[in-house]
């Protein structure tokens, strides 16, 4: 059972202390909790603002929600699932998997659900983090942010959007009480969520307007149900599922050559994508609209076999003129055309490089993460630590993201690093650790040098991979096995450390 307290109890009791506090219980936070338990630790808590584990897979329940990484690879290496129903899993199945792992490793009782962190400040005198939440105050010797990048919906800044009188909701906050049958619907956005939503509702609605700012590159989705003999083989033949996972990993890793090392190599994937366009989009005018004007891989590559055919339906229009304003029951584009709608679905992604969560965390000098990042951009060390934030680790921090394979691989690499860091802190009896500024600076110079020739920087597009300074602070610019090697052991020499109250203050 989760540990919950009433509002009255919150008011009465003092701050609750835990050696380690993890914020968030998606793949990152849950995985770290499991590792700490495996180490025999019980001195940790997981604060989760939702009512269950799962993170983005708990929250994104829109029609058609599914993963674009093969099922065999999109799971913990220590908890392979022989019962995946298909090669690319849908959201409900992934969420059930995460729930089953939490139950199997018996860590749910270390969670406090419906507990939203509203603030966290480092106290140099006590060498502790002071944390405010919707369920009272906490303190921790070590704080781990496992909030994730895809958790804060990004709402477009469109004139009049708050005056719309019909139904309006973000794809990540899907209103399941809303019946779109027979209605005029607008979908704003053509990213990863939108290309799954549009085919799922196109047959249901009376008319669908899809508002596109930038055409994405689409590749075929090699999705199919697993046959019973395959499931039985995965379950009963030792090593078979691990071998399948390794083969998928190796195949995906070849894309790094084109993405980060030699962008012209992306021409092969672009040829596949263009062939898909010619086959699935017969109308020349529509085909011109959905043909990207940048090199494939510059923005996130998407996979779908249903999106282009959905756009070709008689009741679907692709609108490429920018939105001028939203009125009480219509959307007006910059060419002056007004289209009446009953409902608007906002599929405009998330706050990745400007997460509101950054406003809530204050470091050693009192500055929030937002203030630090505003000055220098998102910079960290190995995506896991940030100067000015002692005794704090970050899951999926700066430059840990991927555009080609499973984030779970990167997550497990960070779990290794943070778990070893905690063990090192205990072994050396350290009171505080903080990554050195010179080490962090050197690390980021090398990162940006690697990114200079990558397709994300040279492909001719603007994307959420880049921060306001124009730097790619989101993606890892190398093979993922090199990231794993880099984080194999905690390098305490890269950190300023203290063992006494005087040196920590």
Domain with CATH 3.50.50.60 in the chain: 7-152+351-504, 161-224+232-346
Q: Are 217 and 301 in contact (CB under 8 A)?
A: yes
Q: Are 220 and 272 in contact (CB under 8 A)?
A: yes
Supply the pLDDT for residue 461. 82
HEC string of 346-365 equals: ECCCECCCCCHHHHHEECCC
Supply the pLDDT for residue 356. 79
DSSP-based helix, strand, coil % in the chain, nearest 5: 35, 20, 45
Report whether pLDDT(1) > 60: no
HEC string of 31-50 equals: HHHHHHHHCCCCCEEEECCC
Give tens-digit pLDDT for 200-239: 999 999 999 999 999 999 999 999 999 999 999 999 999 9
The residues, ordered by sequence, that sit 6+ positions from 335 with a Cβ below 8 Å of its Cβ are: 321
Give tens-digit pLDDT for 319-377: 999 999 999 999 999 999 999 999 999 998 766 666 778 899 999 999 999 999 988 88
Give me the phi and psi of 34, to 5 degrees please: -65, -45
Least confident of 168-182, 271-285, 346-360: 346-360
- Mean pLDDT of the 253-257 span: 96
The residues, ordered by sequence, that sit 6+ positions from 197 with a Cβ below 8 Å of its Cβ are: 62, 63, 64, 171, 187, 345, 347
Report whether pLDDT(7) > 60: no
Give tens-digit pLDDT for 54-100: 999 999 999 999 999 999 999 999 999 999 999 999 999 999 999 99
HEC string of 458-489 equals: HCCCCCCCECCCCCECCECCCCHHHHHHHCCC
pLDDT, averaged across the chain: 93
Global model pTM greater than 0.85: yes
Cα separations in angstroms, 388 against 100, 143, 145, 147, 367: 37, 13, 15, 19, 9
The residues, ordered by sequence, that sit 6+ positions from 445 with a Cβ below 8 Å of its Cβ are: none
CATH class of the structural domain 7-152+351-504: alpha beta
Q: Are 410 and 396 in contact (CB under 8 A)?
A: yes
Report whether pLDDT(127) > 90: yes
Fold category of 161-224+232-346 in CATH: FAD/NAD(P)-binding domain (3.50.50)
């Amino acid at each position: 059972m989760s540990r919950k307290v009433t509002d009255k109890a919150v008011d009465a009791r003092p701050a609750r202390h835990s050696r380690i506090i993890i914020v968030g219980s998606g793949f990152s936070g849950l995985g770290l909790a499991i590792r700490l338990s495996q180490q025999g630790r019980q001195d940790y808590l997981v604060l989760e603002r939702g009512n269950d584990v799962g993170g983005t897979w708990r929250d994104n329940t829109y029609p058609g929600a599914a993963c674009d990484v093969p099922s065999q690879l999109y799971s913990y290496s220590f908890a392979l699932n022989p019962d995946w129903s298909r090669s690319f899993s849908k959201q409900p199945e992934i969420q059930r998997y995460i729930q089953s792992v939490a139950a199997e490793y018996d860590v749910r009782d270390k969670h406090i659900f419906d507990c939203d962190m509203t603030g966290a400040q480092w106290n140099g005198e006590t060498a502790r983090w002071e944390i405010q939440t919707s369920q009272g105050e906490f303190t921790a010797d070590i704080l781990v942010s496992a909030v994730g990048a895809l958790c804060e919906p990004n709402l477009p800044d469109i004139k009049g959007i708050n005056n719309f009188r019909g139904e309006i909701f973000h794809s990540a906050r899907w209103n399941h009480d809303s019946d779109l049958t027979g209605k005029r619907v607008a979908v704003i956005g053509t990213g990863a969520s939108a290309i799954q939503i549009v085919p799922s509702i196109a047959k249901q609605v009376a008319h669908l307007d899809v508002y596109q700012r930038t055409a994405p590159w689409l590749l075929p989705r090699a999705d199919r149900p697993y046959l019973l003999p395959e499931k039985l083989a995965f379950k009963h033949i030792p090593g078979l599922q691990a071998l399948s996972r390794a083969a998928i990993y190796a195949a995906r890793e070849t894309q790094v050559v084109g993405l980060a090392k030699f962008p012209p190599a992306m021409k092969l994937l672009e040829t596949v994508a263009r062939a898909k366009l010619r086959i699935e989009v017969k109308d020349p005018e529509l085909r011109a609209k959905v043909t990207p004007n940048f090199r494939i891989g510059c923005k996130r590559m998407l996979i779908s076999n249903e999106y282009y055919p959905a756009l070709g339906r008689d009741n679907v229009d692709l609108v490429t003129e920018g939105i001028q304003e939203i009125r009480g029951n219509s959307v007006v584009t910059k060419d002056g055309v007004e289209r009446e709608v009953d409902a608007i679905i906002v599929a405009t992604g998330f706050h990745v490089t400007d997460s509101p969560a950054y406003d809530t965390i204050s470091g050693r000098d009192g500055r929030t993460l937002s203030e630090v990042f505003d000055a220098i951009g998102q910079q960290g060390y190995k995506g896991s630590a940030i100067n000015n934030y002692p005794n704090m680790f970050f899951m999926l921090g700066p430059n840990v993201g991927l555009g080609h394979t499973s984030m779970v691989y990167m997550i497990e690499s960070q779990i290794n690093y943070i778990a070893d860091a905690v063990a090192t802190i205990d072994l050396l009896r350290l009171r505080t650790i903080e990554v050195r500024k010179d080490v962090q600076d050197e690390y980021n110079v090398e990162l940006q040098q690697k990114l200079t020739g990558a397709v994300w920087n040279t492909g001719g597009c603007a994307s959420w991979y880049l921060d306001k300074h124009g730097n790619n602070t989101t993606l890892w610019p190398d093979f993922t096995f090199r990231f794993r090697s880099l984080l194999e052991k905690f390098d305490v020499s890269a950190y300023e450390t203290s063992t006494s109250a005087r040196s920590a203050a």
